[in-house]
């Protein structure tokens, strides 16, 4: 009985540690490390809300002796196989061995890998990443902590400080500019963010909403640029179109520069024969929301031809108002759509060749890939990919090419 009373006294004291911290100290911790939590979620899938809640609790909002001497934000002990630096700290027993890191981001990365690669935590990654309650209870069930109130502590922190918003930002379901501050505003002092921690600065530039022009097309078969075409709705089976018009599916896909799609992911024109190499008009003036693919479809001209005429690569998209040549090669390529890319600050000079340099890659969408999985692969967000490629929704088609800035 006496032993149980002592245990409960310990639990109450332990669970009250973070609650005793001033809200501004907790908020300062969140402001300092939220981007690391977002980046780790994109990289590994560990919810940013859970990562931040664990970090706040385990470090007493950055004030604990352990974190101050080891940069260990998650109370991860040495365990078998740890080859890194070590420190010794009293926890469940006296003088226990804990992992030590040279900088906070190493701790955040190791924490994500510890969960992602640990077999006992594998079931957590089958959960909805927005279900922070199940994640919190799952961590306790898997034996992450001995405190019987561990799950409740994490849930309370997530709900008190609105940490769920960082999970939504990582998933692209919430724009960084829509972040809601809880408690104090972020500190503007240089010490608020570790000098070695990369921070993605949120652009405040107002970007016009991308809306494709609305065009009315007749029902059934008609012609554009002397080429047979129909207008089909999203969800229409391409095989059914091929069968209805007695065209091999492979040829229908080829006519429309599509690759192995089963159904249309958006309303669009579908050509029933190969498009022409010259347009019916001399020029096409780009409307807001149009792409080179949509222009090639609207004008009944082959995509590779119109790209060649205008000296463009497949991933490049012209800006609204630009003139696209449809019958001959242009003197110069049109101006491209403006792309807002995140600026990376606070990175040591030796880690980058130029403060403004960003690498552009073209990603070809594979079968069953989603916008979220692609964003994780390139350590970015779904909102950025949608912005870079002027996407109106998260719908993708196999073979679609996306511009990614790294």
Q: Hey, how many other C-beta atoms are within 10 angstroms of the C-beta on 112?
A: 21
The Cα–Cα gap between 378 and 404 comes to 8
Nearest CA to 328 out of 355, 310, 347 is that of: 310
pLDDT in 10s for each residue of the chain, 406 residues:
444 444 444 344 444 444 456 788 888 899 999 999 999 998 888 999 999 999 999 888 888 888 888 888 988 888 767 778 888 877 656 778 888 888 989 989 989 988 988 888 999 888 888 889 999 999 988 888 888 888 999 999 998 899 999 988 888 777 787 787 654 444 433 333 333 333 333 333 333 334 444 566 778 888 889 899 999 988 888 999 999 999 999 999 999 998 776 778 778 899 999 999 999 888 898 888 888 999 999 999 999 999 999 999 887 889 888 999 999 999 999 998 865 444 444 434 333 333 345 677 888 888 777 787 888 888 888 888 888 887 877 777 877 888 888 7
Contact 326, 282 (CB under 8 A): yes
Residue 368: what pLDDT?
72
Q: Does domain 15-194 have CATH number 1.10.530.10?
A: yes
> Within the chain, how many helices (H) and strands (E) appear?
14, 11
The Cα–Cα gap between 315 and 317 comes to 7
Burial of 5 (0-12, 13-18, 19+ CB in 10 A): exposed
Residue 300: what pLDDT?
94
Which CATH number is 358-405 given?
3.10.350.10
β-bridge mates for residue 88, sequence order: 97
The Cα–Cα gap between 345 and 50 comes to 25
Q: What angle do CA 355, 358, 364 make, to 5 degrees?
A: 170
Expressed in angstroms, the distance from the first to the final Cα of the chain is: 60
Residue 358: what pLDDT?
64
The Cα–Cα gap between 346 and 105 comes to 13
The Cα–Cα gap between 208 and 321 comes to 14
Residue 19: what pLDDT?
46
Residue 145: what pLDDT?
84
Q: Give the three-state DSSP class for 242.
A: helix
Within the chain, which residue ranges are assigned CATH 1.10.530.10? 15-194
């Amino acid at each position: 009985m006496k032993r149980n009373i002592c245990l409960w006294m310990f639990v109450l004291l332990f669970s009250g540690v973070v609650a005793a911290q001033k809200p501004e100290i907790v908020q300062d911790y969140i402001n300092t490390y939220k981007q690391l939590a977002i980046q780790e979620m994109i990289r590994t899938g560990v919810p940013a809300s859970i990562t931040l809640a664990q970090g706040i609790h385990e470090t007493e909002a950055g004030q604990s002796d352990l974190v101050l001497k080891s940069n260990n934000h998650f109370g991860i002990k040495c365990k078998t196989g740890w080859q890194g630096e070590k420190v010794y700290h009293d926890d469940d027993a006296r003088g226990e061995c804990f992992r030590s890191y040279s900088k906070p981001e190493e701790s955040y990365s190791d924490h994500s890998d510890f969960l992602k690669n640990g077999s006992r935590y594998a079931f957590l990654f089958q959960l909805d990443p927005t279900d922070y309650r199940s994640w919190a209870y799952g961590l306790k069930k898997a034996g992450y902590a001995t405190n019987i109130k561990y799950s409740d502590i994490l849930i309370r922190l997530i709900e008190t400080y609105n940490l769920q918003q960082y999970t939504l930002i990582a998933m692209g379901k919430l724009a960084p500019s829509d972040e809601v501050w809880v408690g104090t505003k972020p500190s503007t002092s240089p010490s608020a963010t570790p000098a070695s921690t990369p921070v993605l600065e949120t652009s405040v530039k107002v970007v016009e909403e991308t809306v494709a022009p609305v065009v009315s097309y007749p029902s059934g078969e008609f012609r554009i640029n002397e080429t047979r075409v129909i207008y089909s709705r999203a969800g229409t089976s391409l095989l059914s179109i091929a069968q209805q018009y007695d065209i091999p599916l492979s040829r229908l896909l080829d006519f429309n520069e599509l690759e192995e799609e089963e159904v249309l992911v958006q309303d669009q024109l579908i050509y029933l024969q190969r498009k022409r190499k010259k347009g019916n008009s001399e020029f096409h003036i780009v409307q807001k929301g149009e792409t080179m693919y949509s222009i090639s479809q609207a004008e009944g001209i082959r995509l590779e031809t119109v790209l060649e005429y205008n000296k463009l690569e497949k991933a490049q998209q012209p800006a609204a108002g630009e003139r696209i040549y449809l019958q001959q090669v242009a003197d110069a390529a049109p101006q491209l759509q403006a792309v807002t890319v995140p600026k990376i600050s606070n990175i040591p000079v030796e880690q980058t060749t130029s403060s403004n340099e960003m690498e552009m890659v073209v990603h070809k969408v594979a079968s069953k890939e989603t916008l979220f999985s692609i964003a994780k692969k390139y350590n970015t967000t779904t909102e950025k990919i949608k912005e870079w490629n002027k996407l109106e929704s998260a719908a993708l088609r196999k073979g679609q090419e996306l511009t990614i800035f790294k």
